[in-house]
Structure 1
Amino acid sequence: MILDDIATARTGDKGDTLILALFPRDGAAYRHVTEHVTPERIAAHFGDAVTGTVTRVEMPQLPGLVYRIPGVLGAGVTASPTLDGHGKTLSSYALTLPLPDLDHKER
């Protein structure tokens, strides 16, 4: 199973920091994402491009989670050497994160 199976994502930019918002599809998916999609796992998934500490804000009332991933956008939108300076396609990459299977009985 991958993250895309239970959540959708949107990304944006703040300088060289990627802002990743994940929206699990239901309560069981929110609990699963909260448990398994830690800031450390996100940092490892994005690899060497991450230049600092990944942080996460949980918003159970939406439900959603927002991650700040520093460095992924290179020098920032206007100076980034990458093809996707705003990081819009990186939401698709984030959704490829492998996860343990969700116990569908808990839905």
Structure 2
Amino acid sequence: MTRSVELRHAAHGRTGDKGNRSNISVIAWDPALYPLLVDQLTEEAVARRFASRRPTRVTRHLLPNLHAMNFVLDDVLDGGVNDALNLDSHGKALSFVVLAMPLEVPESLLPLLRRPIPNQNDTMETTR
């Protein structure tokens, strides 16, 4: 049996940007949670999450010794910080979009999640 929680309960993120490219790193809070991230946080899932920003490419780099992964999203910053008219286009804000993604967690791993996690009867809302 599994429970759906926001990714932020299983991992934290670091981000950066250069030109029109964003780097988003996702780091598991506990090494035992890393396999869930590898299985569920795919290039395709992240590309779907950022579909409204129309990335031309999403590349995932696995960092198993760090229990982390890094996503590189090309052409996702509206031309880059200096060219964009959108004030919220900085790559640093985009990790929150990833950390709000749903993650299916087996009940046996729930104690490893960061608190507070939602009650089982709560509905999870995610940003699009």
TM-score (norm 2): 0.76
Structure 2 residue aligned with 1:15: 19
Count how many residue pairs are aligned between Structure 1 and Structure 2.
106
Residue 33 (1) aligns with residue 37 (2): yes
Q: What's the C-alpha RMSD, in Å, of the aligned pairs?
A: 1.5
Are 2:57 and 1:56 equivalent residues in the alignment?
no
* Alignment deviations for residues 16-55 of structure 1 (CA, whole Å, 9 cap, x no partner): 1111000011122111001000010001011131331210
Stretches of structure 1 that go unaligned for 5 or more consecutive residues are none
- Displacement after TM superposition at 1:104 (Å): 4.2
Identity fraction in percent: 32
The structure where strand makes up a greater share of residues is 2
Aligned to 1:69: 73
- Aligned mates of 2:93, 2:79 — CA distance in 1: 17
Residues 26/104 of structure 1: CA separation in 2 closer, same or farther (3 Å cut): farther
For 2:91, what is the secondary structure of its paired residue?
coil
**What does residue 108 of structure 2 align with?**
105
Contact 2:6–2:101 (CA<8 Å) still a contact in 1?
A: yes
Moved over 6 A (4+): none
Q: 3-state SS of the aligned residue for 1:11?
A: strand
State the structure with more CA Rg.
2
